[in-house]
Amino acid sequence: MKAVFISYNQALTERVDYMLDRLEIRGYTQWTDIFGRGSEKGEPHMGTHTWPEINNAVLCIVAEEKVEPLLEKIRKLDQVNEEVGIRAFVWNIEKMI
């Protein structure tokens, strides 16, 4: 099993939900109204007058064979909406209850 953490501009929420549904990734935890900025060229998303954008994030635990299809959809979404911002991070799950 793998953990996939997806951080994205809240404007992409419906698209991320749709993507998870299409890949039959049912279980996830979502955080809303989170702040941050991209490490390379992303502008801050701080929910302020100066930086009004806000992020959301999703953590899902998926079978290894679902990781690449999920990352490919995220990559395509990012290419279409590069200025909006979405990133994904993957790590191993050693144990689960």
Is there a domain that residue 97 lies in? no
Is there a domain that residue 31 lies in? yes
Looking at residue 89, what is its pLDDT? Answer: 98
Is there a domain that residue 74 lies in? yes
CATH number of the domain that residue 48 is part of: 3.30.70.120
- For 61-82, write each residue's pLDDT tens digit: 999 999 999 999 999 999 998 8
Is there a domain that residue 56 lies in? yes
Is there a domain that residue 40 lies in? yes
Q: Could you give the number of structural domains in the chain?
A: 1
Considering the chain, what is the average pLDDT of its residues? 94
Separation in Å, CA 59 to CA 50, 80, 91 = 28, 22, 11
The domain in which residue 8 lies consists of 2-92
CA distance 60 to 94: 15
Separation in Å, CA 69 to CA 19, 82, 96 = 10, 19, 23
Residues of the chain above pLDDT 70, percent: 100
Chain centre to alpha carbon of residue 16: 7
